[in-house]
Amino acid sequence: MMVLKREEGQSLQVLSDRVCIKLKSTDSLSSMTVVTVDVPPNGFVPPHTHKEEESYYVLEGSMIMYLDSKEFRIEPGDFVHVPAGTTHGYKNNSAQSVKFLAWAVGGRIDEFFIELSEKVRDLPDDLAKMPSILEKHGIQMVEPSGM
């Protein structure tokens, strides 16, 4: 069992987003990762796929969520479930930060977040490191449509 206070967890800067790992996949029998994510204005994650199923619950702000070729505005209290292998991404096109809770099951996506935060710090200089990190963690980027 575990209890973490609001400020506790492993805080990382992952590209534009501030990610706080609340539960690591290695601490869960089902390899579940739980994170809070703060997305600044204009922050985004481009369309991609991975083997983990993932869910999002918006706590503050609103953003655009991309699922396959569809676009949804999600706001506080909205829930999104992304089945494994589904193309998804998001963008905060508002003037305020967005905060959401996310969890992924069936892999070690937290290890991807940690490696990305350690190795891709200076953009655009570190962009050349991304393809090998994505491949190592089974994440495939998808051509954006409408982002």
| pLDDT tens digits, 117-143 | 999 998 889 989 999 999 999 999 998
pTM beyond 0.85, yes or no: yes
DSSP state at residue 133: H
Instruction: Express as a percent the part of the chain with pLDDT over 70.
Output: 97
Q: How many CB atoms lie within 10 A of CB 115?
A: 17
Any bridge partners for residue 98, and if so which? 39
The pLDDT score that the predictor gives to residue 145 is: 60
In a domain, 146, yes or no: no
Report if residue 4 sits inside a domain: no
| CA proximity to 43, closest of 123, 97, 118 | 97
Which domain, by its residues, includes 112?
A: 10-140
pLDDT at 146 over 60: no
pLDDT at position 52 is: 97
CATH (domain of 123): 2.60.120.10
Task: Give the pLDDT of residue 76.
Answer: 98
Q: What rounded mean pLDDT belongs to the chain?
A: 95
Q: Is 116 helix (H, G, I), strand (E, B) or coil?
A: helix
